[in-house]
Structure 1
């Protein structure tokens, strides 16, 4: 509860400082009541009013320190004008000196201390207060200067401690961030090392399966038993390869990435449904397919789909009122995909396709293809990719 109240007062400095000013006034009231009546500073209500006036600068000492300082200096005219010198006046000067020293740079704090205590010294030297044992003006001046120095020193000590604490916290934060970065780097390095090792294992298994498959073709007709044994070895090796591939993907997948869904990945057949979705979203799309797709690798088919998906998505976001055209062409040695639109394209001050551009380049580069993205002559935008392929054998043919 105490920590909560402290935090609340720190967030509401006016309330805390107002309570401090009330405390100063109450302290003077108690001090006055404990003093013999002949030493009271005039009528008690009037003395209370002057005490409140002298304590008022404390209320704004943190939200408006310099106006509070000037107001406190102005109260030094009270002994001259009305011959009243409330005790809260001295306490206010001490509090303001401490506040400026604790929260302001050294030079400003020194200026504030001089502005506060030099007029005090002058007033005490010229008009020493009455009603106290007769002492010399030099003693009063020296006493006030000593009080000012102590207040200033305490404030600077608090300022130095606060600065040191903040520096230590910042150093600890930086050290923690560096330690976290080093740990993440170590994990990433270890993941890459494991991935390389698993890659070698998978590559070895695939090579073994390729050699065995070649041997099976050669002995299938004349030695079926040996062929069956080799096929069994291929089956076992393929299962081991699949397990190693799963481990490889687990190593490469970061914690921030969600686990892949077990749904089939889209391919060439999904492009038509994708075009329908974009049409429903408000962008007219024309789709044309030339050539015979044949039996492409699933990775190549997925790459073509993702290129069309990213290109149409960006056309939908940036093209405005426009139309789009998707062309997919299949040749004997390559698959070509081109997406064009008649819109304005991304504005010059924005990232053209963001992470999608990086993803498209990575996918196309993985298969040794080429990718061209940019504005069309005469307006609009164009995405073109050509991916070399080696058609897979038709499973229905022998």
Structure 2
């Protein structure tokens, strides 16, 4: 298909209606002509019906033909005129529809009594014409309302997708900025210690002194390259540029104590030592616990929160469970924190789950697999 939607049941229904009223008009015209079908009176309904179902004709062709036919032959072609008036009103051409009604009613004042719209009921045809115009107005307004709602839903869907993409991009930038801080700290230590050793190069063997100098140069250049490539990812304020530092390798216990001081009931269970996990895992755990405590405070105020963290191999695991509680007042609209966390965990090769857990509880859990440690010297096959 070429981007256009296939005709729906409403279109087929309209074609069927026009075909039906055209056949009825042809039959009535043939009866009025004494059973003869090949006459001008029987040809007129066919032309009017064809104009009503041909989409590429100018919009005024069908109203002009049906108005002229009804002005001459009265109620024989009235159903076709009603369809044309319905279409005009649905397209907000009410003035044209009213003008067609006036022309038809005026012309039928001098029409023969056998086909005049003023017989046998004087105002019966006027009522049908009015109903056709009112029905067209209602249908047109309904179509426009449905189209507006559909466009609004589509705009909201696109806006949500853009926000999710922005949240993922922001999380990637935050990960890079945090890893920049961690790697810069460790490279600085390497450069510092090699610098100290290089001052005593005269007391060391020549090959060792050369390696130390090479290591110091490489670490210094790597630190400079890292700052050039990733340093721009830090968020800066609009004027002062003194944004708060990223939470680099901060302790989870400190975060939990801050939540307890704010009134939350938090139970923390930690297995293993934090130093056993890679720096990227520890950063992800901090953000996961931070997001879990924030969501519990917003959506389950006063409910206890249970946090379980496992730093041991073969995977770093975190689980935050909170029971049902009251939604905090003046809660800000929900953002896309989980979208960013999902992006972070997936980037580390892990999996994240967030959803209901039991009766009214909510569970946020992530499992980040640990890569195998490098082989030690002397253990190579």
Instruction: Give the TM-score category using the shorter length.
Output: 0.3 to 0.5
Higher relative contact order (CA 8 A, sep 6+): 2
- Over alpha carbons, which structure has the higher Rg? 1
More helix by share: 1
TM-score (norm 2): 0.46
TM-score (norm 1): 0.45
